[in-house]
């Protein structure tokens, strides 16, 4: 029977047969198995399918658009250059208007805001252009007092050659035309302070064309203003003695 000294003590580890007191290090895994058990992950299906892009690049269409816009830009530049050269060569100028005479040709009756009278105006129109002919259409003239029209009329169309002058005459008639109370007071005040003189304005509007050879500009609206045409009107039933101060130059614009 073995002795008690060689019998292992219950509850303590068996001695190392190699004579060392230290045990070998434990294995690296903390699991009781050689490898962790496989885990059941849910199967993932990607339903987000990537479809090809619907955008389609057409090189022929892009080339056509580039050429189209290039042609438009070139046309605008060439047209503008031609117009600028023509303007430099021709140097178009506005016509000149001058009032030669202006008079009241019928009794000047202003009673109860009603005016009955008539006017005559004679103008000289000059074309200062040496290479351009002027064509006047739809010529309308009117006589005003302080911006309010008293009478108007239409004149016949006419043509002006290069470096030429034309005589233009117009007659106006007011038959019991209503006149604003402020204008009545203004006329009476002018007649009282100016020895019976009253200042009127004449305005002319016309469609004018500039033409030089085959070149023809589009129609333009010509505006002529002849202001402060003073005539002597002593009292009701009287006529004027003509334009005071001699011929008067008019302002012209478009």
User: Going residue by residue through the chain (254 aa), what tens digit of pLDDT does each one get?
Assistant: 555 555 655 555 555 555 555 555 555 555 555 556 566 555 555 555 565 555 656 677 778 888 888 888 988 888 777 766 666 555 789 999 999 999 999 888 999 899 999 999 999 999 999 889 999 999 999 999 998 999 999 999 999 999 999 999 999 999 999 999 999 999 999 988 877 889 999 999 999 999 887 777 778 999 999 999 999 886 555 556 578 888 999 999 98
Does the residue 232 lie in any domain?
A: yes
Strand partners, 178: 114
Does the residue 32 lie in any domain?
A: no
Q: Which two tokens stand for residue 53?
A: 């892009």
DSSP 8-state code for residue 72: H
Give the model's pLDDT for residue 79: 78
Does the residue 107 lie in any domain?
A: yes
202: domain range? 96-253
Which of 136, 156, 131, 127 has its CA nearest to residue 209? 136
Give the model's pLDDT for residue 242: 74
Give the model's pLDDT for residue 135: 95
Count of structural domains within the chain: 2
Does the residue 129 lie in any domain?
A: yes
Give the integer Cα–Cα distance in Å for 30 and 40. Answer: 20
Give the integer Cα–Cα distance in Å for 76 and 84. Answer: 12
Does the residue 5 lie in any domain?
A: no
Cβ count near 151 (within 10 Å): 18
Q: Which two tokens stand for residue 31?
A: 């699991």
Q: What is the CATH number of the domain that holds 124?
A: 2.60.40
The dihedrals phi and psi of 186, each to the nearest 5 degrees, come to -65, -45
Whole-structure pTM over 0.75, yes or no?
no
Domain co-membership, 150 together with 69: no
Domain co-membership, 234 together with 176: yes
Domain co-membership, 162 together with 73: no
Domain co-membership, 197 together with 118: yes
Domain co-membership, 81 together with 146: no
Domain co-membership, 167 together with 86: no
Domain co-membership, 167 together with 139: yes
Does the residue 38 lie in any domain?
A: no
Give the integer Cα–Cα distance in Å for 125 and 97. Answer: 5
Return the SS3 of 78.
Answer: helix
Give the integer Cα–Cα distance in Å for 169 and 124. Answer: 9
Domain co-membership, 63 together with 127: no
Domain co-membership, 162 together with 83: no
Domain co-membership, 230 together with 137: yes
Does the residue 144 lie in any domain?
A: yes
Does the residue 49 lie in any domain?
A: no
């Amino acid at each position: 029977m073995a002795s008690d000294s060689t019998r292992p003590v219950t509850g303590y580890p068996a001695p190392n047969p190699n004579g060392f007191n230290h045990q070998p290090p434990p294995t690296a895994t903390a699991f009781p198995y050689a490898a962790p058990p496989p885990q059941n992950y849910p199967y993932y299906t990607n339903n987000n399918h990537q479809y090809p892009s619907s955008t389609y690049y057409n090189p022929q269409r892009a080339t056509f658009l580039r050429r189209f816009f290039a042609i438009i830009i070139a046309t605008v530049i060439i047209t503008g250059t031609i117009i600028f050269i023509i303007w430099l060569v021709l140097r178009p100028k506005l016509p000149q208007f001058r009032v030669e005479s202006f008079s009241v040709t019928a009794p000047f009756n202003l009673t109860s805001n009603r005016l009955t009278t008539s006017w005559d105006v004679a103008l000289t129109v000059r074309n200062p252009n040496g290479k351009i002919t002027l064509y006047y259409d739809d010529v309308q003239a009117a006589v005003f007092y302080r911006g309010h029209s008293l009478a108007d009329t239409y004149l016949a169309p006419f043509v002006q050659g290069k470096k030429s002058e034309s005589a233009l005459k117009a007659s106006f008639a007011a038959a019991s035309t209503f006149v604003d109370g402020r204008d009545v007071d203004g006329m009476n005040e002018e007649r009282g302070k100016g020895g019976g003189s009253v200042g009127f304005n004449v305005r002319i509007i016309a469609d004018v064309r500039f033409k030089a050879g085959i070149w023809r500009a589009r129609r333009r609206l010509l505006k002529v203003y002849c202001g402060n045409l003073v005539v002597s009107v002593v009292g009701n039933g009287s006529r004027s003695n003509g334009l005071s101060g001699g011929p008067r130059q008019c302002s012209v614009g478009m």
